[in-house]
Structure 1
Amino acid sequence: MWQLASTGVRAHRGAFAGTAVVLAVAAAVLAITGVLFESGTRLQSGGDSASGSLLVSLASSYAGTLIVVVVMVVAATVSLALRSRRREFALLRAVGATPSQVRRTVTLEVGVVSLVAAPLGAIAGLFGARLLDPVLVSSGMVAPDFTSALSPLPVLAAVALIVVTAVPVGRLGAREAARTDPTAALQQSAVEDRQVGIGRRLTALAMTLGGLAMAFSTLFIPGTMGAAMASLSAFLLVGAAALAGPVLVGWIFDRVARMHPSGGRPATMLAVRNVRGFSRRLTTVVVPLALVVAAATVQTSVNRAISEGAEQQFVAAVEADLVVTPTEGASPDLPAQVAAVPGVASTVPLASVPGEMRTDAESGAMGWEATALRVLPLGTAAVDPDVVKGSLDGIDAPDTVAVSTDTAFMSGAGVGETLTLRLGEDVVDATVVAVYSRGMGVGAIITGPATAEAHGLPVVPDTLLVDLADGADTAGATAAITALGATAADPETHIATAMQSAGGENDIGVALLLLLLGVVAVGAASTLAMTTMARRDELALLHRTGTTRRQLMGMTTVEAAVTGVTAWVLGTVAVVPAVIGVSAGVLDGPPVVDLLSYGIVSGAVVVFALVATALAARRTTKLATAVA
């Protein structure tokens, strides 16, 4: 059995080479995520809980999306590599191989390729992870002397995940061919059956319903947590399309064929007939490309929605004419100096104190997440966080806090319950006196000066909310405050500037998104190339019956265009519920889409399909015409 498996890998090294590249790239990105997570946990254990919590949170949030993408891409690539060998499996059955022998052979083949490609990719990712160190430093997530922690653990985890994904997919791919009658299998290898089993249909339906329900999870999960949950709906819907792909893609291609007149150009006519007859094969190409559209659009659109939601909440919460922030070198007596500026009616100083929130109150382990507590002066009305439960009057007492709806949901601490915090050297069970809805604009936790002072935390104002007297010269007051070594702007301008200046913090998110898209792009390129190369016999037959090489190239180009546009449509449809759900959860207004990213990715998907197919078709048609 081992000899048969090793011979199969060598005989089909072209198809397995593409699969190996996909597995290696996926393992590399998984290893990078593991390095981020391990580095974060080591920083936490070393005393830098703030940076450690940020890295752990970043790696955890990214890992969920990455694992979904890796599973889908690896599954599509492995299943396509095995699909082109259905005739071989049928011949093995015809000469006496049992179904279990065929399954074991394929399992060994996929296992060998996985155990060779995954470690190589994971090791490259392990050392490549340090290329992200400058981005992490520039984003302010870690200290300037930060160096990623390297160990074998991320490599082992990445290899394990790849093997656990690829081997079962290979076994499932061989299962259908192994249990099919050899004669029927030979017939099916020439003409594909677009029908799918009842189990697959029901699973696709369940994933569709689950994706739609998840898209609107913001109706009962507040803020950024609900937005993150809703964003995952796009991946579930693409997964549903992958399961129902032969039926769904076949239905789309049927409509395309009906729009094309039968007396059209030969290349176009052949292309339309091919896409109708081989919807199952083309599904493995459409799904990775649709995933590119969905992944890029949902990630960038969610970021934009959260940014706009934070701006809206800040503007709604701050009831002041100007927001003043000190610049470097400003006087410690800045609040008094601003209060003395002509035209200033009142000033309200705001401060933030560092802290940590316990994230696993029901377990025995002590897990902490870095946070900041916004300190509001007693009795201030300059900030309205939109209290939905309780009252802010209670934060005057020591060890009392108000929490955002996000924090209340994640921690499970409502009004009258306690939230475990670490303030300085003290662990505090702070009583929750209020829950408010504008957490993205105000902050996750609000407290009063008494709580900070009780635990030795200095309350140093970092923001001043300034109200001007009626009829005061706004421009003059702004200029006078600026001359004191501070910036002054209305709330809308202040938060817009702050969000723009925080753009550097998104660099790591962009880098991780590009890595994610890289995995999908490599998978899509591999599937396109394997699909085209596997058609050499088909193209040779067409050439023998009179089709010229130019017509063959034209046919594959039209097929690629139809495939790329279909992928774009599916990716767009899959992402619409997520965009609506995310926007409904964090915005007061219509849904938002990052149109620039969406437009670039949409065009890139179609061009990518055309270029990748053309490169593979050029060689394939040359070989086919030479054979013919």
Structure 2
Amino acid sequence: MSTMWQLASSGVRAHRGAFVGTAVVLAVAAAVLAVTGVLFESGMHLQSAGDAASGGLLVSLASSYAGTLIVVVVMVVAATVSLALRSRRREFALLRAVGATPSQVRRAVTLEVGVVSLVAAPLGAVAGLFGARLLDPVLVRSGMVGPDFTSSLSPLPVLVAVALIAVTAVPVGRLGAREAARTAPTAALQQSAVEDRQVGLGRRLTALAMTLGGLGMAFSTLWIPGVTGSAMASLSAFLLVGAAALAGPVLVGWIFDRVARMHPAGGRPATMLAVRNVRGFSRRLTTVVVPLALVVSAATIQTSVNRALTTATEQEFVASVAADLVVTPTQDAAPDLTAQVAEVPGVAAAVPLAMIPAEVRTDSEGGALAWEATTLRVVPAGTTALDPDVVTGSLADIDAPDTVAVSSDTAFTSGAGLGETLTLRLGGDEVDATVVAVFSRGMGVAGVITGPATAEAHGLPVVADTLLVDLADGADASGTTAAITALGATATDPQTHISTATGAAGNENEVGTALLLLLLAVVAVGAASTLAMTTVARRDELALLHRTGTTRRQLMAMTGVEAAITGVTAWVVGTVAVVPALIGVSAGVLDGPPVVDVPAYGVVSAAVVVFALVATALAARRTTQVATAVA
């Protein structure tokens, strides 16, 4: 064991440049994982302290974000560690040639990666633990938590983050050394200088399975309704990028072959060399393409899905409201605003809507996680001013106490369909409410609708927060609106109302933006590390080219063209991977063509190519300087 430890420690010292890049990636990934853990733990503490609404929101936020984050962390860490080890294939071959056994090589690599992980991950996780409190003001501004909120800090998020990083990095390192350890020493020496574009049968089948799974998940909105289906569909982009990573040498090699055929043989020397290089080293460049493609996919899917859900909410609300005006009270409004509005000349009817707090049981087990904070929309039974598009049952039946109507999304997630019961906490009472109707426009109306009788039966005051106003035939709309405004309320048409409401949700979107930036930070650091390691590892190759007459300026131009080709390839792969998800999400929630956040997509697409050029140029500048000096 002491010999293995000496071999591993010597390897880390000898390749500290590559391991520094790997350590930075592991530290950043651990920091973001720790931030997610702090959000989850803070939500749990709020729930146990009696603040079920804020705690439930934080737990839901952390849970939804954690799934995407873990997928991204696994892919970025795997790409970085595998590239760091790929550049050492010649070293592994030499170890085999001087008598090292395959198991000794694997153990040495496992110890190396383990040492780096156990040093970098705790440092990053501790930084993320304390840095999580920088999100506190954002959470307060979003209204998710109270003004006196402070994140809960404990060692648990650090331990979980370190464990996840170690579980990801160490097996990847072991797999990275597996091929070199199994190959005969002479064959390994030959393969260390020439890349094999082919991949094994198992890897091909896994890539095919992930591709089919990603495409199936992209269109899961066709049978899984609402936000739940959209969340599943958005993950399809990561599965497709993962499939591209597994089939990368073949896929990227095929793309580079097409590029090479487009370039004439008599072109500029730097461009010709660049095209030939990317064609011959597709396996090496795959580890660069994958993180950059992740940037395009992650940013596009997050921003575009949010826009699609916002558009769907507006569409469903407008389709649900059959009234002419939507009236909302201000602070100056009188308690009897509903009666006052009903007496305004030109008003035919004023239907009050209210919201009451509740908790819904999410599973049959006890504990804090069994209950999720929610709100119930209180609607007078028999009203025609609101049409949530009832699929089964009748909305008139909510007039009885302890009855509810649920959206198709809520029915799917809770398992409570027509005639079944939905367990709620209302005003301190645990209620088995009977589902009397299922409706489809849950995003625009609410997840659960009940009548005033249910709220009053459990001591919850019903205070109207919205009035749906019908105008009489021939009424002066502008005059009636002015009269309602004079009562201390705002009165707008349904489209203007919902557009204003969704626009005012900018503070809540600020939380999503902050988490998206943290996610992109992991990917960007991983991409920068892989680009730098790839360029630095080519010092001998660049020195050989310089000896054969290539100038340093031509070497810089060559690496620049390679970076441009790599960046554009990553953009293509990321775009192709995200298209099915965007189509699937839009098909599931929208009435119209797919929605894409074009500004965000354009910015991130340009940023990927520029990032590849800048990161490569910075690394190539130093590498070509050393290479030409050695030559």
Normalising TM by the smaller chain, what interval? Answer: over 0.9
In the alignment, what sits opposite 2:308? Answer: 305
Aligned to 1:49: 52
1:164-220 C-alpha deviation (Å, 9 max, x unpaired)? 000000000000000011111111111100100000000000000000000000011
Kindly report structure 1 stretches of 4+ aligned residues shifted beyond 3 Å. 362-366
> In structure 1, how many angstroms separate the alpha carbons of the residues matched to 2:494 and 2:565?
49
Q: For 2:622, which of 600, 619, 622 is the aligned residue?
A: 619
1:247 aligns with 2:250: yes
SS of the equivalent of 2:382 reads coil
**Over residues 555-578 of structure 1, what are the superposed CA-to-partner deviations in whole Å (9 max), with x where a residue is unaligned?**
000000000000000000000000
1:191 to 191, 194, 199: 194
- For 2:583 and 2:365, the matched residues in 1 are separated by 34
Opposite residue 213 of structure 1, the aligned amino acid is G
Q: Counterpart of 1:558?
A: 561
Secondary structure, counterpart of 1:590 in structure 2: coil
Residue 261 (str. 1) matches residue 250 (str. 2):
no
Matched residue SS, 1:353: strand
Describe how 1:124-135 pairs up with structure 2 within 5 A. 124-135=127-138
Classify the secondary structure of the residue corresponding to 1:232: helix
Matched, 1:368 2:371: yes
Query: What is the Cα deviation at residue 583 of structure 1?
Result: 0.5
Structure-to-structure mapping, 1:447-596, within 5 angstroms: 447-596=450-599
Distance change in 2, residues 1:55/1:364 (3 Å): closer
Distance apart, 1:378 and its partner CA: 2.4
1:94 is the counterpart of 2:97: yes
- How many residues align structurally? 628
Aligned: 1:429 with 2:432: yes
Stretch moving more, 476-485 or 171-180: 476-485
Comparing 480-489 with 438-447, which one deviates more in the overlay? Answer: 480-489
Q: What does 1:98-497 correspond to in 2, within 5 Å?
A: 98-361=101-364, 367-497=370-500
1:548-603 Cα offsets, whole Å, 9 max, x none, are 00000000000000000000000000000000000011101100000000000000
Structure 2 letter corresponding to 1:8: G
Give the whole-Å Cα distance in 1 for the aligned partners of 2:306 and 2:154. 32
- The alpha-carbon deviation at position 336 of structure 1 amounts to 1.4
Amino acid at match of 1:105: A
TM-score by length of 1: 0.99
Q: Distance in 1 between matches of 2:365 and 2:262?
A: 61
- What amino acid sits opposite 1:254 in the alignment? D
Question: What amino acid does structure 1 have at the position aligned with 2:263?
Answer: H
Task: Give structure 1 stretches of 5+ with no counterpart.
Answer: none
Return the alpha-carbon distance in structure 2 between the equivalents of residues 364 and 335 of structure 1. 41
Displacement, 1:362? 5.5
Distance 2:343 2:434 in 1: 38
Instruction: Give me the whole-angstrom Cα distance separating, in 1, the residues matched to 2:483 and 2:296.
Output: 50
CA distance in 1, matches of 2:204, 2:280: 20
> Bigger shift: 337-346 or 221-230?
337-346
Shift of the alpha carbon at 1:32? 0.1
Q: Which amino acid aligns with 1:471?
A: G
- How many Å separate the matches in 2 of 1:469 and 1:397? 31
Q: Secondary structure at the match of 1:124?
A: helix
Q: Is the 2:381–2:397 Cα contact (8 Å) retained in structure 1?
A: no
Give the letter for the 2:324 counterpart.
Answer: D
SS at structure 2 position matched to 1:141: coil
For residue 328 of structure 1, report the CA deviation from its aligned partner. Answer: 1.2
Alignment counterpart, residue 10 of structure 2, candidates 7, 22, 27? 7
Match of 2:31 among 28, 33, 42: 28
Name the SS of the counterpart of 1:143 in structure 2: coil
SS of match in other structure, 1:440: coil
What SS is found at the alignment partner of 2:349? Answer: strand
SS in 2 for 1:4: helix
Deviation at residue 361 of structure 1 after TM alignment: 2.4
Please give the alpha-carbon distance, in whole angstroms, between the structure 2 residues aligned to 1:364 and 1:131.
30
**Structure 2 gaps, min length 5:** none
* Alignment CA distance shift 1:25-1:259 (3 Å): same
Q: What CA distance in whole angstroms lies between the structure 1 residues aligned with 2:199 and 2:505?
A: 49
In 1: Cα distance, 2:474 partner to 2:54 partner: 47
1:221-280 deviation line (CA, Å, top 9, x unaligned)? 000000000000000000000000000000000000000000000000000000000000
Equivalents in 2 of 1:456, 1:364: separation in Å? 25
**Deviations 1:113-146 (Å, cap 9, x if unpaired)?**
0000000000000000000000000000000000
SS in 2 for 1:442: coil
Q: Which amino acid aligns with 2:284?
A: R
For the structure 1 residues 425 and 363, does the alpha-carbon distance in structure 2 shift closer, same or farther, using more than 3 Å as the test?
Answer: closer
User: Which amino acid in structure 1 is aligned with residue 458 of structure 2?
Assistant: H
> Quick one: distance in 2 between partners of 1:463 and 1:40?
30
Distance 1:183 1:328 in 2: 82
The letter for the 2-side match of 1:56 is V
Equivalent pair of 2:48/2:368 in contact (CA under 8 Å): no
CA distance in 2 between counterparts of 1:299 and 1:482 reads 38
Over 3 Å counting, the alpha-carbon distance change for 1:446 and 1:602 in structure 2 is same
Give the letter for the 1:292 counterpart.
V
How far 1:364 moved relative to its partner? Answer: 7.3
Distance in 1 between the 2:625 and 2:290 partners?
28
Task: Show the counterpart of 1:39.
Answer: 42
CA distance in 1, matches of 2:387, 2:381: 13
Secondary structure of the equivalent of 2:505?
Answer: helix
Give the superposition deviation at 1:469: 1.0
Identity %: 85
TM-superposed CA distance for 1:608, in Å, is: 0.1
For residue 342 of structure 1, give the secondary structure of its aligned residue in structure 2. coil
- SS of equivalent to 1:175: helix
Residue 102 (structure 1) shift: 0.2
Counterpart contact for 2:44–2:368, Cα < 8 Å: no
The one-letter amino acid of 1:60's match is S
SS at match of 1:471: coil
